[in-house]
Amino acid sequence: MKNKVMKYLAIILSVVLVDQITKGILLYLITGTVPLMGPAWEVVPVPYLMTQVCNFFNIVFTWNPGASFSMLRAVGEAAPIIIILATGFIIGFIGYYLFKHSHSYERLPLALIVGGALGNLIDRIRFGAVVDFLDFHIGGWHWPAFNVADVCIVVGVGLFVLNWYLARRRCLETVKSKGGK
């Protein structure tokens, strides 16, 4: 059991480290330093286009003081506190479930979700906003900028739903093969 816990803690830590390192590199490239704390928008203006990688992908630098895809911006000054508390609660709940009650097929997706959420929570605590920098677009239609933590959360949720569906399907097939309904 201890090896399983260490394995998933390592995944969570790896996600957080890759996320924070990529954000730190971008902050360094723009400002020449990596600020440790403080209001983010005082350090780097919003938005800051760094470079076009290809005709559908840019690396930009933007701050997201709201929730996913800039939701909750309208809540006002209370939004950062609400988001930090809610995120901390959700991370705690998912982490508890991951290490105490999860099935083997749920663990990797949950570790990715926890790692991504922690990466963004660190930004919120440090800066009051999340660093986003991956910008995919088709012509003038841009998907909202996102980061490595967001990718891990989305992949984790997708794997969780897929694994849940496949496990449910196997369970139903087993019941049918035994003559059940």
**Which residues are part of the catalytic machinery?**
132, 150
Listed residue (174, 140, 112, 139) closest to 120, CA to CA: 112
Calculated CA dihedral for residues 121, 122, 124, 127, nearest 10 degrees: -170
Angle subtended by helix axes 2-31 and 79-100, to nearest 10:
150
Q: What is the dihedral of CA 126, 12, 105, 169, to 10 degrees?
A: 30
CA dist., res. 50 & res. 53, Å (int): 10
Residue 171, sorted as left (phi over 0), alpha (psi -120 to 50) or beta, turns out to be alpha
Q: Looking at the chain, how many residues does it have? A: 181
